[in-house]
Structure 1
Amino acid sequence: MSRARKGVAVGLSLVALTAGATAGAGPAVAQPKAAAVAAADCSAAYRIEQKLASGTTWRMCWRYDSMAGLVLEDVTYQPKGEAAPIKVLNSARLGQIHVPYDDGQNEFDDLTGQNFAQDLMELAPGECPGGTIKSVKIPDGDPERPTVKGLCTTTRSRGHAYRMQGDTASKVYQAQGKDLLVYTVNQVGWYEYMTEWRFQDDGTVNMNVGATGSLSYDDYDAGDGRGWPIGKGLRSKATSHSHNVFWRLDFGLDGSSRNQIEQYDSAVTAPGSGDQAPTTKTTRTKVTKELAGNAKAYRWWRVVSATGKNKDWHPRSYEIVPGATTKYPGRSFTKHDVYFTQYNKCEKFASNNPGSCGAGAGASVDKWVNGETLTHPIVWMNVGFHHIARDEDQQPMPIHWQGFSIAPRDVTAMNPLTPDDLVWQNGHWQPRS
């Protein structure tokens, strides 16, 4: 793919996971005190605050980096029933978009090598329905474009948040979910990347990158001889390639960076017999050292607050929920799904990291996993997509998405969208009639 602008020539400890006993009704006990969370420290122009119809409020600051593009900072979540905002993230942004071509002729690091941030696209009014398009000043940008109206903040419906038939079948409990949507569009060569962040009213955060724009006609020769036919007959063949997208998340749960990482693995330990189901055991691994991790069946990770608990006295945490991915085996830094590294101000991008901090700073994320103790963990998520073009990719190319989510786990004592007449059921089981 030609990257010229359009129109221009071109130490682990293992602990058994046991279920806690469910307490019955009893005397009231003191509730845990939430850690104090400071208000987002940014001016009004760089503050995003949205109260959704359910009563949930998301707050954050934004800035624009000369390489990473949009950066969200001091992200807090306040559902109804919580007296104060709950800090979730110190910062969140892209960590790299790595694009190697199957024929071996080209390989790009779009954030640090292809002016991703500099080519922020102007958004048309209709591209941010019901929302606001903010003006963005691009550091080290084109002086002829001092600002770009390129940041959309709006709300979107996502369908059912939940549905439950009442015990007597006389009432249906249901709610339609709402999201705060924040997004930008950046052009790299013939591609346009939509980087979106969806903050749900139930506390979930979805991070996605969508690739759209055009297939590059410069690559219709499919130099590897194996490209997919585009157009009439076999004359034009588009070169296949991968998009390996990295995100960098710096958690600050309850206002502290001293979060803990835990890995959970489940396994069937005994086969079933007759009407008896197989038994399954889940174990928890405390990740105390830097780790390059791989997703597999029955495995997941969470980031745990070191300071805050919900009203049930359970430590607050966020679970990492990987999205669909095609792992690219061609480079060492793409061979793992997630990396947990100790914070280092020089470790900014997952590959082709700028070497401004001296020797070694230009290495890739896999080289930073060297056994250091995690006291301020950084999460690097890698989600891959192997793009084998098709006729329907022209013209323009339909958007194809890749991404993942972080979901609240024990951030609140119950579903933050629970109807008022069901709040008494916390920890109590009642049979249906």
Structure 2
Amino acid sequence: MKSLYCLKFRHGIAAVLVLVTLIFSASCSRQSGPAPVADKPAIPLHPLNPLDTNEIKLVKEVLLGEGKIDTTYRFYLINLNEPPKSEMLAYKDGDEFRREAFVSVYERASNKTYESVIDLKSRKVLSFVNVPGVTPGAFLRDSVADELLKNDEAWMAGLKARGIHPDSVSTSIVFAGDMGIAPPDHRELICAPEYKNKKYKELLVDGLVAYVDLTDSKVLKVLDDGGKGFYKPEDIGYFDADSGEVLLPKTKPLKVSQPEGTTYTVDGFQVTGKSWSFRVGLHNREGLVIYDAKFNDNGIMRPVVYRASLAEMYVPYGSTDLTHAAWNYFDGGAYRMGQAWPKHMNALKAGADVPENASFLQGIFHNEKGVPAYMDSMIAVFEESPGPITRHGTFAHDARNIAVKYFTQIGNYDYGFKWIFREDGTIDLKAELTGIVGIKGVNRTTDLPGASDDSFNGIYYGTLVAPHVEAVNHQHFFSFRLDLDVDGRENIVEEMNTVALPASASNPWNNAFIKQMSLIKTEAEGQRNMNNATNRHWMVADAKAVNSLGQQKSYVIMPGHNASPLAAPGSGPRKMADFLENQFWVTAYKEREAYPAGDYPNTRGLLDGLPKMVQDNESVEGKDVVLWYNMGITHIVRPEDWPVMNVHTIGFSLVPFGFFDKNPAATTKTTPERPKVIVMDKPVPPDFTKCVPLPQEKSAMMQPKPKRTKG
């Protein structure tokens, strides 16, 4: 599965790199498709509303007006500068609130990146500072690598030796990251030739690679294998979405309707159902964001999640040649979840992406010049009934979930993210992977042993999906930032392991097993990994009170399928993604600690992200805590994944554990009961003396990481 940068450039991205910020612009409509802007109802004012079109325009106007930038600067990021959490928790409808924009701009002439905060009410710049040692993601001007290489003797000689006319190819580029040789704050690219002809361009010319430093405008190094790699033009019949067909027999229509209307309402960006209320947003870097999720427990709105989002997505590839070894994509931090390419952001389709009863929300993008652009139907909100939520004998109750879904195209891949709010208090996250796998041109036409292609003991680094077309082995990692406030901001985090008891007089049949709880006291202790053998889970609980049964009122992260990074420790890809050293992290809340790989992850000469956050090893007992959950898959491609793969789904759940005294979705009581709590007069957990030390299966991962050096 090939990710954004290579794919985009292999799809002619150098001609269409348009950096954008996704922001909602309208209330919901009942079906997908563009709606006239003039018909959009006014959106209720709220501090967490995304920036509108006029505000995006105002950002550029203010910066130019105060002389902070000129027209040569490029906008990497324009977002709402979210108010501090303390202000939001105190906010009530009708209160005055700040309205600010956060901006990241780049000046190519000086190779400097600036961050700015702008007061949109007073129309003035509050701050404008240089961030040293970093460089933001992709820009149109990065295509200058093509011009530099056409003036390089070694590059041109490599093309000539292969019989390739230089005018017949352009350059496919990817950020070098820790694979590079330029200074870490330079815009360094690893480049390979690709044919301009639409039939041939999907397979790169293998074996000719260049390091290009855009900051100094020079070619640093050219590597040439002498023509051993595959370089001939090959029409592989790359999937064309406009002419694609499903080969399965046609089915009869399946209609989903709610003739009496929905049991939820959407007011601007606020979604309110009978069990859940929450806000949605589209963040220019993170995509879909969930805010302020509360459960209606018999009339009491109990906080569960303050903010939840996909904070980073990382896709590394596993082939040994430099071109594909450099395919290590930060699809969030460097490419902003595909939102930098509005031409490739397709609206959700009712009846395919989401059911026909969905409501749709729109978004506003901006390009690298700070000009906004409107797009319809980017997020869907809908009710679904996937089956019974509970049943026994003659009793059965259908599940009625509220789902929020968002799809994005990042190069050759399409990713869907669906947050599901269930009536029993559970929140599910489902990630859907589809699109086209990342490919490499190879000499072989069969996977039988004996081909001349690179391999390890005859085993190839990918799967042949067509003659001369290898789908490269790779991984996808999704890093979620989960700011849980379980019945308030004062929480504790515990790890739960299930263990078998040793044979003894008290266990005469040798069949007993128990749960063991371990309190996570510090950020260093909060660096953990899954253990399927012990059914490991992590619990976030109220530090002030327990339920009426004397049990902690908590939510549990229930992991699903997962993976660990396969690049070797100390390798460039492993250093770039050091936040993946643990599948679970706990940090004490800080306002600007938002991204696990750092603010500018394609610049990896600095210690940043989660390893930097935990250096002070703060206490997390009774604090406002943030959980970071890394979820991954290893994709060994099947022939059935070509020419376009079917949806593959992974996910996790946030499940109440003692948060309620009984099942909130089914009760035999005729009179609803209000939640009962016992306020503690001492720190919890109440069974603190029974907590055991954290298991140390991977003790090397338990300490803050040392400062990283460039390598």
Give the TM bin, normalised by the shorter chain: 0.7 to 0.9
Match of 1:48 in 2: 271
CA apart distance, 1:65: 1.4
For residues 363 and 106 of structure 1, the distance between their equivalents in structure 2, rounded to whole angstroms, comes to: 21
Cα distance in 2 for residues equivalent to 1:270 and 1:264:
18
Q: Counterparts of 1:226-241 in structure 2 under 5 Å? A: 226-232=460-466, 235-241=468-474
Call closer, same or farther: CA 1:312–1:391 in 2, change over 3 Å.
Answer: same
Identify the residue that residue 262 of structure 1 maps to in structure 2. 494
- 1:228–1:390 Cα contact (<8 Å) kept: no
- Give yes or no for contact 1:215–1:393 (8 Å, CA) kept in 2: yes
Aligned to 1:132, which of 359, 365, 373?
Answer: 359
SS of 2:8's equivalent in the other structure is coil
CA–CA distance in 1 between the matches of 2:501 and 2:484? 34
- The one-letter code sitting in structure 1 at the alignment partner of 2:329 is F
AA of the residue aligned to 2:522? K
Counterpart of 1:428 in structure 2 is: none
* Structure-2 change in CA distance of 1:232 and 1:107 (3 Å): closer
Match of 2:331 in 1: 110
Matched position secondary structure for 2:611: helix
Kindly tell me: are residues 381 and 324 of structure 1, through their superposed partners in 2, closer, same or farther at Cα, counting changes over 3 Å? same
Residues 1:135 and 1:232: Cα distance change in structure 2 (over 3 Å): closer
> SS of the residue aligned with 2:273?
strand
Deviation at 1:47, TM superposition (A): 0.7
**Are 1:194 and 2:416 counterparts?**
yes
Query: Aligned with 1:253: secondary structure?
Result: coil
Could you tell me how far 1:71 is from its partner in structure 2? 1.1
Of 117, 142, 153, the match for 2:381: 153
Higher strand share: 1
Using the aligned pairs only, state the percent identity.
21
Which one has more relative contact order, counting CA pairs under 8 Å at least 6 apart?
1
Query: Which of 344, 347, 368 is the aligned partner of 2:593?
Result: 347
Distance 1:346 1:419, change over 3 A: closer
- Contact 1:3/1:114 (<8 A) preserved: no
2 CA distance for matches of 1:303 and 1:258? 10
Q: Residue in 2 aligned with 1:23?
A: none
Letter in 1 for 2:429: M
Deviation at 1:399, TM superposition (A): 1.2
**1:163 and 1:174 in contact (8 A); partners too:** yes
User: What corresponds to 1:4 in structure 2?
Assistant: 8
Residues 43-64 of structure 1: CA distance to partner in whole angstroms, max 9, x if unpaired?
A: 931111223xxxxx21111222
Equivalence for 1:18: none
Task: Give the Cα–Cα distance (whole angstroms) in 2 for the partners of residues 208 and 280 of structure 1.
Answer: 31
Distance 1:173 1:187, change over 3 A: same
Q: Which residue of 1 aligns with 2:22?
A: none
Indicate which of 470, 474, 478 corresponds to 1:245.
Answer: 478
- Corresponding letter in the other structure for 2:590: N
Give the Cα–Cα distance (whole angstroms) in 1 for the partners of residues 431 and 498 of structure 2. 30
Q: Distance in 1 between matches of 2:317 and 2:658?
A: 42
Equivalent residues in 2 for 1:1-80, closer than 5 Å: 1=2, 2-4=6-8, 7-8=11-12, 44-51=267-274, 57-79=275-297
Is the Cα–Cα contact under 8 Å of residues 40 and 59 in structure 1 kept in the other structure?
A: no
1:351 match: secondary structure: coil
How big is the shift at 1:337?
1.4
Pick from 553, 564, 581 the counterpart of residue 316 of structure 1: 553
- What residue identity is the alignment partner of 1:266? T
In the alignment, residue 201 of structure 1 is paired with which amino acid?
A: E
Structure with higher Rg: it is 2
- How far apart are 1:295 and its partner, in Å? 1.5
Matches within 5 A, 1:351-362: 351-354=597-600
For residue 369 of structure 1, the aligned residue among 583, 604, 614 is 614
1:338 correspondence with 2:574:
no
Which sits farther off after the overlay, 385-394 or 139-148?
A: 139-148
Q: Partner of 2:640: helix, strand, or coil?
A: helix
TM-score w.r.t. length of structure 1: 0.79
In 2: Cα distance, 1:149 partner to 1:202 partner: 29
2:173 aligned residue: none
Question: Do 2:413 and 2:434's aligned partners in 1 also have CA atoms closer than 8 Å?
Answer: yes
Any conservation in 1 of the 2:365–2:372 contact (CA below 8 Å)?
no
Residues 475 and 634 in structure 2, CA contact (< 8 A), matched pair in contact too: yes
Amino acid of the structure 2 residue aligned with 1:294: N
CA distance 1:39–1:139, change in 2 (3 Å) = farther
Inter-partner Cα distance in structure 2 for 1:276 and 1:423: 44
